[in-house]
Amino acid sequence: AKKLKPAPFMLGDNAALITTGNFDDDMAKLKDCDIIIEAVVERLDIKHKVFGEVEKYRKPGAVVATNTSGIPIQSIAEPFSDDFKAHFVGVHFFNPPRYMKLVEVIPTQNTSPEIACAVHGFLDERLGKGVVAAKDRPNFIANRIGVFSMMATIHEMIRMELTPTEVDQITGKAIGHASSATFRTSDLVGLDVTAHVVNNLYPAIPEDEDRDVFVLPDLIKTLLEKNLLGDKTKGGFFKKSTNAEGKREILELDLNTFEYKPQAKTKFPSLDAAKQIEDLPARLKTLVWGKDKVGEFLWNTSSRISRYAANRVPEIADTIVEIDDAIKWGFGWEIGVFESWDAIGVEESVERMRAEGQKIPSNVEAMLAAGAKTFYKEENGHRYFFDFATNAYKPVPTKQGVIILKSLKDQGKIIKKTAGATLVDIGDGVACLEFHTKMNAIGSDTMQMMKFAVQEVEQNCTGLVIGNQGGNFSAGANLMLMLLAAQEEEWDDINLMIHTFQQANMRLRYSPKPVVVAPFGLTLGGGCEISLHGDRARAAAETYMGLVEVGVGLIPGGGGTKEMTLRAMDMAKKTPDADPFAFIRKTFELLGMGKVATSAQEARSWGFLRNEDSISMNKDRLIADAKQVVIDLSKEGYVQPQPRTDILALGESGLATLKLGLHMMNRGGYISDHDQLIGTKLAKILCGGDLNHQTYVSEQHL
């Protein structure tokens, strides 16, 4: 597990938390466990044998879970005691479990409702998962719909004589699916795994109206015979190779000759045009209704998948919400099946299906007959879904402890809004400053709103959260503006930009009311600098944080270099008999190499987060968790911080050592002359300038 990439552990040291054992010697250790998860081979007799041993040793009340995806949960629990059955549940993780949000929870008819609820809460809050309640049907929800989607795509590719590359161009980011699209995903998962699922599924669903999609086409059978399974056999639909010039390239399988050839991407004008449409539902509708190959392919696949999903309610899930959540969290779709159907247009698409002789699902017919024209609707900041069971709209269930900023804005909770940011009242006297530029890049508009937010909070609020619910917290400052100014030699403008950003961050740092920053995802450059200047950070577990400016020939200039110097010196002060230079050298390497922490835990170990900064496992809960930190700080009797003037600067002695290291690296060919120039400038700041002796300086000096 230590060698796997992407890394399964948020911090390498976490591997020490795992103790390995075996089935012969260590089953007695289960007596100390509160939850036991099984993931052995998919054979009922073997599972029964393993659980027979589990039942000997498990303590009363311990939860027992199976991670099976191919065997009915009820049949696994059948031979065991009533207490075992009451505490037994299916818990189907998606792989790799650190990164895949979905977990399907499948209770049996004997599972205690309290146990199912407790497992749901544990998975949500403690493990940060997106939990979906599924029924004990073959392949549950996500794989039933997701594998159907993949097989429908394969059948359509064969019919239209498209190539894997062409299909991946159509079925990837363009329609809001994962960038690995269809066949790159297949290579990652392994074609043998997909075939195993399909072969097990077909006989298990004799009543399924469209189960013929699960019959493996001859093409797939041939790939299996030739052992072209994907990455695990060094080749599937695609193969990594090195060309004559020594450059890495991706080869594509010729589906007629089964030989690999250079990947040729077809130009689809409609796809190129659609890239200009930012709004995903609008883009999807444009592509599906297109009059070209792309439109034909997407219509044939999406209409088939939509009908299939509708017919699975209530077989695999009680409502459309579980199906949409499962496919988004399990397969990386940005919008679910029914959200996609809304985007395409329900009424007009049903008319086209009828014209083509397709059988419309009875529940969709009933919905339209009731006058409902969409599966989802929004009213007064609340979201509703059409419930097939009652033939009426119901509110989409909301989780306790989750704040949805869009919903609050729709309810009129906006304090102030500009093009780049919005200040939102999130209740209990707390305001949230939300960025909403592309990649949440920080520009002058964002900085002005930061200034306004601190002033507004000082006068009218308990405290401030800085966070958003986009794809990433912030990819950093808008460097294009700086580049353009540099090309025009507008040095005064650049100086003003930097000064404005520094002062905006210092206002956060010395706000009269508590400020909590809620980073998640990419938190780079200026985004990291904002996080460094709150009273606290409440970070999502999956936060990728770093000061990366040196990579483009710049120095972190929004206060990040200053703050990391300050933290290094504070750490040195707390460490008995420590050499302060060792802490500055570590910071120099961190900033000079533009290193990015790959989790919030790693960010804490590097100093981007402090020990008092906390972590939320579930990103959905991040804004609410950050709000609670603001409230707690306020209740504790918040005292406005004062500017620091006690930061140890090493001066010329530290600077000379760092400069020597840079010189040696340059002489050794490890860095360029320009790298040495930038590194020297960075070293000068970290050491407080070329002072001729160690002394104490202020933040403003740095």
Active site residues: 529, 549
Indicate the DSSP class of residue 422: E
Indicate the DSSP class of residue 124: I
Whole-angstrom distance, CA of residue 133 vs CA of residue 111: 13
Whole-angstrom distance, CA of residue 440 vs CA of residue 229: 39
Q: Which residues of 56-66 are buried (b: 16+ CB within 10 A; e: fewer)?
A: ebbeeebbbbb
Whole-angstrom distance, CA of residue 489 vs CA of residue 466: 33
Contact residues for 218 (Cβ-Cβ < 8 A; gap 6+) = none
Whole-angstrom distance, CA of residue 470 vs CA of residue 518: 12
- Token pair of 81, please? 């005691």
| Alpha-carbon distances, residue 280 vs 122, 175, 283, 343, 679 (angstroms) | 33, 7, 5, 9, 42
Whole-angstrom distance, CA of residue 561 vs CA of residue 549: 11
Whole-angstrom distance, CA of residue 247 vs CA of residue 273: 31
User: Are 73 and 38 within 8 A, CB to CB?
Assistant: no
Side-chain-side CA neighbours of 158 within 13 Å: the count stands at 12
Whole-angstrom distance, CA of residue 166 vs CA of residue 163: 5
HEC sequence for 103-119: EEEEECCCCCHHHHHHH
Contact residues for 489 (Cβ-Cβ < 8 A; gap 6+) = none
| Long-range contact set of residues 193-201: C-beta below 8 Å, sequence gap at least 24 | 194/147, 194/150, 195/220, 195/224, 196/70, 197/69, 197/70, 197/139, 197/143, 197/147, 198/147, 198/151, 200/70, 200/138, 201/138, 201/139, 201/144, 201/147
Q: For residue 324, give the 3-state DSSP assignment.
A: helix
Q: For residue 137, give the 3-state DSSP assignment.
A: coil
Helices (H), 518-579: 526-532, 560-574
Helices (H), 575-698: 580-592, 600-606, 622-635, 652-667, 673-686
Whole-angstrom distance, CA of residue 130 vs CA of residue 101: 5
User: Are 554 and 561 within 8 A, CB to CB?
Assistant: no
User: Are 541 and 616 within 8 A, CB to CB?
Assistant: yes
Closest Cα partner for 98 from 61, 128, 75, 133? Answer: 128
Give one DSSP letter per residue of 204-244, joined into a string.
H-TT-TTGGGGSPPHHHHHHHHTT--BGGGTBSSEEEEE-T
